[in-house]
């Protein structure tokens, strides 16, 4: 990287320095704006939700009731809904994503890895609302009649967490949708991290007579471990904040569901469904407080993930995760 700062060789006369300074200043302002905006998000959400924090304090986070009529606001149903859907999503997406990443980076021949990798990433480009539309009309009925019916009829009879009735639309469907939506993030970043593992690791292992799979699990994955964990955390961050598709399939029921097949609401989906009609004052403030809670969770996860990924693969990895 050349640095063009400092005294410039061709800029002896003052007249040519002024535009340089101006240009440099404009670039600095734009760059500063990125940092300022990020801080502003946190500050403005805190200020706008102050009324709620003052009224309820931290018990806002543990309150069970969300009742705009009585003016009681507790975020726990939405926090639980968010964590449940994200957990289901991760349980499905992590093994599939990791194995896919290994396949693309280590096993597949080039002619297959390139188009396959492209297709997986193309999934990330599909707008959330389109996936939600498909989720409501295609996936949910399918899940209701197959997986959910089976779960409710077998495990559900013993463990209440999987008990019916199943509506199709609900926490489980939202989890499956999330799995689909975070898969590209997990695959593409894990894959880049695995690609960043030096070949000497592989060669040394193969030279000892290992098989491809042994090489992968014993020489490649341990080396890439922190980056792969970072990829998963980044996926988790996306799952927590994903809004439209989840809003459309989660059921929009502001209570803690008793079963994974029940209907619930996540933080993001509660904001999406009620914010524009909320009365200015405590209700809006409480919704923004929900938003701040979500922001806190996702920012911590994102910072953690970036640091982990950077440790293995250096700068510039992981821009693929679009919204």
Partner 1 sequence: MTATPTTLPHSLIRSRTDARRALVDRFFRGLCLVAAVVGIVPLFAVIGFVVVNGAGGLNLDLLTKAPKASGVGGGAVASILGSLQLVSVATVIAVPIGVLAAVYTSEFGGRRSAAIIRFSADVMVGIPSILIGVFVFTFLVLPFHQFNAFAGSAALAFLMVPVVMRTTEEIIRLIPNSLREASLALGVPAWRTILSIVLRTGLGGILTGIMLAVARAAGETAPLLFTALGSRLVNVGSFDKPMDALPMFVFINARQPISALNEQAWGAALLLLLFVLTINILVRIRTFSGRRPR
Q: Is 103 a residue that touches partner 1 (CB under 8 A)?
A: yes
Q: Is 207 a residue that touches partner 1 (CB under 8 A)?
A: no
Among 143, 291, 312, 313, binds partner 1 (CB under 8 A): 291
Q: Which residues contact 80 (CB under 8 A, 6 or more apart)?
A: 256, 264
Among 261, 298, 308, 313, binds partner 1 (CB under 8 A): 298
In terms of Cα–Cα distance, which of 251, 226, 205, 209 is closest to 304? 226
User: Which 147-206 positions form the footprint of partner 1 (CB under 8 A)?
Assistant: 180, 183, 187
User: Which 252-271 positions form the footprint of partner 1 (CB under 8 A)?
Assistant: 268, 271
Nearer to partner 1, 123 or 161 (CB): 123
User: Which 10-29 positions form the footprint of partner 1 (CB under 8 A)?
Assistant: 10-11, 16-17, 19-20, 22-24, 26-29
Helices (DSSP H) in the chain: which residue ranges?
17-48, 50-56, 76-102, 110-125, 128-134, 140-145, 147-153, 171-195, 199-207, 212-215, 221-241, 244-249, 267-274, 282-313
Among 59, 62, 154, 211, binds partner 1 (CB under 8 A): 211
Nearer to partner 1, 38 or 155 (CB): 38
Give the residue carrying structure tokens 């990020």.
38
Least distance CB 30 / partner 1 (angstroms): 4
What mask, x for binding partner 1 by CB under 8 A, covers residues 42 to 71?
Answer: --xx-xx-----------------------
Q: Which residues contact 254 (CB under 8 A, 6 or more apart)?
A: 66, 77, 78, 265, 270
Which helix (H) or strand (E) element contains residue 67? strand 66-67
Q: Is 108 a residue that touches partner 1 (CB under 8 A)?
A: yes
Instruction: State the Cα–Cα distance between residues 51 and 318, nearest whole angstrom.
Output: 37
């Amino acid at each position: 990287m050349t640095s063009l700062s400092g005294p410039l060789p061709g800029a002896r006369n003052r007249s040519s320095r002024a535009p340089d300074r101006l240009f440099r200043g404009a670039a600095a302002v734009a760059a500063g704006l990125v940092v300022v905006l990020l801080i502003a998000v946190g500050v403005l959400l805190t200020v706008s939700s102050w009324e709620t924090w003052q009224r309820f304090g931290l018990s806002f986070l543990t309150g069970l009731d969300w009742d705009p009529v009585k003016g009681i606001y507790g975020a726990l149903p939405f926090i639980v809904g968010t964590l449940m859907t994200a957990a289901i999503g991760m349980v499905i997406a992590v093994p599939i994503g990791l194995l896919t990443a290994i396949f693309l980076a280590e096993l597949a021949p080039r002619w297959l890895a390139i188009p396959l990798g492209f297709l997986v990433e193309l999934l990330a480009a599909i707008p959330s609302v389109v996936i939600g539309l498909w989720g409501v009309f295609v996936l949910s009925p399918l899940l209701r009649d197959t997986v959910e019916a089976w779960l409710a009829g077998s495990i559900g009879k013993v463990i209440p967490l999987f008990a019916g009735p199943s509506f199709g639309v609900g926490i489980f469907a939202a989890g499956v949708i999330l799995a689909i939506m975070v898969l590209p993030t997990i695959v593409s970043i894990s894959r880049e991290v695995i690609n960043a593992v030096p070949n000497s690791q592989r060669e040394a292992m193969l030279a000892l007579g290992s098989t491809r799979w042994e090489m992968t699990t014993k020489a490649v994955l341990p080396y890439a471990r922190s980056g792969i964990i970072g990829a998963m955390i980044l996926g988790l961050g996306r799952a927590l904040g994903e809004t439209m598709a989840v809003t459309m399939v989660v059921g929009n029921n502001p209570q803690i569901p008793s079963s994974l097949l029940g209907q619930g609401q996540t933080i993001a989906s509660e904001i999406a469904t009620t914010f524009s009609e909320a009365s200015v004052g405590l209700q809006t403030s409480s919704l923004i407080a929900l938003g701040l809670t979500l922001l806190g969770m996702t920012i911590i996860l994102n910072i953690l993930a970036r640091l982990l990924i950077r440790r293995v693969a250096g700068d510039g990895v992981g821009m693929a995760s679009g919204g």
